[in-house]
Structure 1
Amino acid sequence: MDAEKNSPTPVTSPPVIHPAVAPLSFLLGTWRGQGEGGFPTIHSFSYGEELFFSHSPNKPVIGYTQKTWKLSSGEPMHGESGYWRPKPDGTMEVVIAQSNGLVEVQKGTYSFEENVIQLQSEMVGNASKVKEIRRSFKVVDGVLCYEVQMATNTVSLQPHLKATLKKL
């Protein structure tokens, strides 16, 4: 008789969410929706978008990936990925690498009670024109809304992107 066939199925417990990540666990998963973009130096545009927030058990970090596409054709437009590191005092550090070569190091705050995250760039690397990026996220009634503001060498901080996403 084969011992493996008669051995009981191992009991596995659900993954443990790190205490630093727990206040932001509402973000974990896949979000999809649509957004609009613009800036004084470019034409306005609409896009489809998917965000994915992941967590490795027992690690104090959230993995982040984002991709956008043209609504009319499905053609890829932009992508970025990085890590969000929340701290118990309500602050967080974020690093994001974009598909266009730009890298952001951001710091900010989060509010568990209000489901709000505010981020501001500390450094924008590999960008000859972009000088500052601010991101604001808020979840209301299960819908994730965000806005991105950007400043360049020639344009002060202006709205750039906004989107509304639903959790899948």
Structure 2
Amino acid sequence: MTSSESSGDAAIRAAAERAETTRRRNLPWWDDLPIPNDTANLREGPDLNEACLPLLPLVGVWRGEGEVVYPSIEGPFRFAQQITIAHDGRPFLTHEARAWLIDADGNVIRPAARETGWWRPQPDDTIELLLAHSSGVIEIHYGTPRTPTSWELATDTIVRTATAKEVNAAKRLYGLVNNGDLAYVEERAMMGHPMQPHTSAYLRRVVG
């Protein structure tokens, strides 16, 4: 960075350079699928449904690192994660998140949490977020946009299988920061503990 270039200018330039790569990438495409493919790139595939415009900045594939910490685990642990938020032209977004534990050097230790679900925006600006976790927990979140680039949600209903850990409530805050990167924090009340921080991550766009 030159002496005349501010950190803000550098961040904008870096985001523009990343966009030259990410704009050409998308999810795997099925040419013989008789219905619209999911797309995580707004430049390709079906048009985004008008109902999803309040969630437009989330569409893409995001990858980065975070930390998980909670009284019931021997943490904190570092993890890496990929989140895919896509659409097929209908009034909802698909959501898939995959995480893997990493060591201090970024080496993969093992696969970790997985979740899949749907973002369902409503006419009154309410957002329904349905999430099913590989750990046996299903959550229904409700929330609203805080700003055009941040969204806050909290659980209304949680259902779990007989073998799943006790989870009583959760909150999530997603937001775009630093010229388009995605950050989130999650709080949880589980295993007899009150609501408190559980995971946080900082992700950069790799598709879209």
Under a length normalisation based on structure 1, what TM-score does the superposition of the two structures give?
0.86
Give the Å deviation of 1:105.
Answer: 0.6
Percent identity over paired residues? 31
> C-alpha displacement at 1:89, in angstroms?
2.6
Deviates more, 1:60-69 or 1:13-22: 13-22
Are 1:108 and 2:143 matched, yes or no? yes
Q: Deviations over 1:74-131 (max 9, x none)?
A: 5211100000001233210011000111100110111453x11111000111155110
Secondary structure class of the residue paired with 1:21: helix
Partner of 1:7: none
From 77, 84, 98, give the equivalent of 1:52.
Answer: 84
Structure 2: distance between partners of 1:145 and 1:119: 14
Alignment of 1:120 with 2:120, yes or no, is no
Which one of 132, 145, 155 corresponds to residue 169 of structure 2? 132
Distance 2:69 2:47 in 1: 40
Q: 1:70 deviation in Å?
A: 1.7
| Amino acid corresponding to residue 55 of structure 2 in structure 1 | L
1:50: Cα distance to partner?
0.2
State the shift of 1:16 in Å.
Answer: 1.6
Q: Secondary structure at the match of 1:23?
A: helix
Distance 1:153 1:40 in 2: 9
Which of 115, 138, 147 is the matching residue for 2:185? 147
Whole-angstrom CA distance in 1 between matches of 2:86 and 2:115? 14
| Cα distance, 1:163 vs structure 2 | 0.2
Paired residue secondary structure (2:192): coil
Pairwise CA distance, 1:153: 4.9
Q: Is the 8 A contact 1:37 1:161 kept in 2?
A: yes
What do you get for the CA RMSD once the two structures are aligned?
Answer: 1.6
What does residue 20 of structure 1 align with? 51
Aligned residues: 154
Partner amino acid for 1:142? G
**Structure 1 residues 54 and 40, CA gap change in structure 2 (3 angstroms):** same
Q: What's the CA shift for 1:73?
A: 2.3
Q: Which has the higher strand share?
A: 1
Q: 1:22: Cα distance to partner?
A: 1.6
Task: Choose 1 or 2 for highest CA Rg.
Answer: 1
Which residue matches 1:41?
72
The partner residue of 2:133 within 88, 91, 98 is: 98
Give the letter for the 1:101 counterpart. G
Q: Which has the higher helix share?
A: 2
Query: Which residues of structure 2 form unaligned runs of 5+?
Result: 1-43
Structure 1: 5+ residue runs without aligned partners? 1-12
User: How many angstroms does 1:25 deviate by?
Assistant: 1.3
